[in-house]
Structures are given as structure tokens and as C-alpha cells.
Amino acid sequence: MFLSLPGAPKAVIAALESLTEALQKHGGSDFAGLVLYGGLARGRFREGRSDVNVVVLLHRAGADVLGRIGPALRSARRAAAVEAMLITPAEVPAAAFEFATTFLDIKRHHVMLAGEDPFAALEVPRVIVQLRVAQGLRDLLLRLRRHYSVAYDDALSLKETLLDCARPLAIELLALLHDGGHAVPDDDRTDEVFAAAAQAFDLDGRSLAALAALRAAGSKEDGTLDAAALYGRVLEQLAALADRADALAGAST
């Protein structure tokens, strides 16, 4: 049993145990390790809503190896919504340059289920982090604008999009807080991150709090939310944040 996974349902633990055993068996010498990250690694798993995010480390990641471990990954996905990133340990430093905020988030919050940890000594230059934060915020802003333009009168669709963007936004804000030397909350729950960011960057704290509350409520939201109004306020905050991040990264004139 993986005793260091508080809040994990028994079915999820069983799926991870089976996956680890199968990867060791079928991956053989090509299997380098298994890393758990995301909500479950943080102890905040939401059954029925959260994916189980893992990094599968492989010394070789060719089609022959992927074919051998594919059935195990398929079974884990069906059993417990296990979503896998497949990468070699040698690729981790370069991938961290390209996906800096994601990989730094994994570094800060992960659990090694098997193998050696390639994230412990991971370092990414500050300028790369700044560029990737700017890129992530701008991409999120453009995607939300596009979605609103085609779903402006569909409250359910707008609410679902807000739900999907809340945690990615929190991860980008965490990176901004770290980069600027601002106070970072001990608990990196979305609501705590939003509150810290609102204070540090003079944002609309009420709108961010409403977004965090929507994420916490999920499908249990009582239906009184004005999704279009909140969506508009979130767009305004994202635009301001993207401009700030661009300035930090030297992308604006």
C-alpha cells in the first residue's frame, strides 16, 4: 500500500499498485520510475472529478517499449482515470525549459512511487520561468476569449470553462508569486493562491474568490451564479496579468 497518499480511495491505490507492478514487469530494464503529481500528490483528491496524474519515466521510449506497457496504462486509465506523461529522465531538464511552470509545480509537489527522482535537483533559469508564465497566461486569455465568443449565451458551457481554467490559472499565479519574491501560501489550494495573488498584484479579489468557490463547488454549485458576469471579470483579470507577465519577461515595449 502507498501509505503516503492521504485521501486516496482504495480503488485508486489499488490501480497505482497494479500499474507499478505491471510497469516493472513489462517495462523491464527500460522502466526508470513512476512519479505521482497533481491533486492526489497534494492530498486533495476529488473522487469522480480529479484525474490521477503520473509521470512514467523510461530509459527508452520507442514504440516497442510503449507497446509493452500500453495495456497497463490503458487498464489504469479505465480503473482510476490515471493520466500518464511518458518521458525519459534525460529529457526532463529540457522539457522543464519548455513547460517550466508545469515541471516546477511537479518538483514542488510529487511523490515517488518507484525509481529515482529526476525532479529533486531540477533547476530552471528565472528568465525561462518568466517567459513560460507569460506564454501560459496569454494562451489562457486567448482561449477564454475565443470560447466566450462562441458560447456567450450558454451559461453551462461558460461555467465549465471557468472550472477548467481555475487550477491552471492558480499554477501560473504561484509561479508569479515565487518569481517576484511575494508571500506564497503554505497551503497551495486555489483559493489561497488567488487570495495571495490578489494582494500581491492588486487584482479583483472578489472575482478570484468567486472563481475559487466555483471550482470548490463544482457540479454542486447551486445555479445562482451569473456565469457570464464572472467570466467577463475573469477575462479582465487575465488581461491585466498577461500584460504584467509580458513586462516581466521583456515581451512588451
Over residues 85-99, the pLDDT tens digits come to: 999 999 999 999 999
CATH of the domain spanning 126-249: 1.20.120
Which H or E run includes 55?
Answer: strand 52-58
Nearest to 41 by CA among 80, 87, 2, 73: 2
Q: Which fold has domain 10-115?
A: Beta Polymerase; domain 2 (3.30.460)
Enumerate the CATH 1.20.120 domain ranges in the chain, comma separated. Answer: 126-249
Q: What is the mean pLDDT of residues 118-130?
A: 91
Residue 13's CB is within 10 A of a number of other CB atoms, namely: 16
pLDDT digits (tens, 9 = 90+) for 25-47: 999 999 999 999 988 888 777 77
The residue among 15, 94, 7 whose CA lies nearest residue 46 is 7
Residue ranges, comma separated, of all CATH 3.30.460.10 domains in the chain are 10-115
Return d(Cα 138, Cα 248) in angstroms, integer.
13
Q: What is the mean pLDDT of residues 172-177?
A: 92
What predicted TM-score, i.e. pTM, was given to this entire model?
0.76
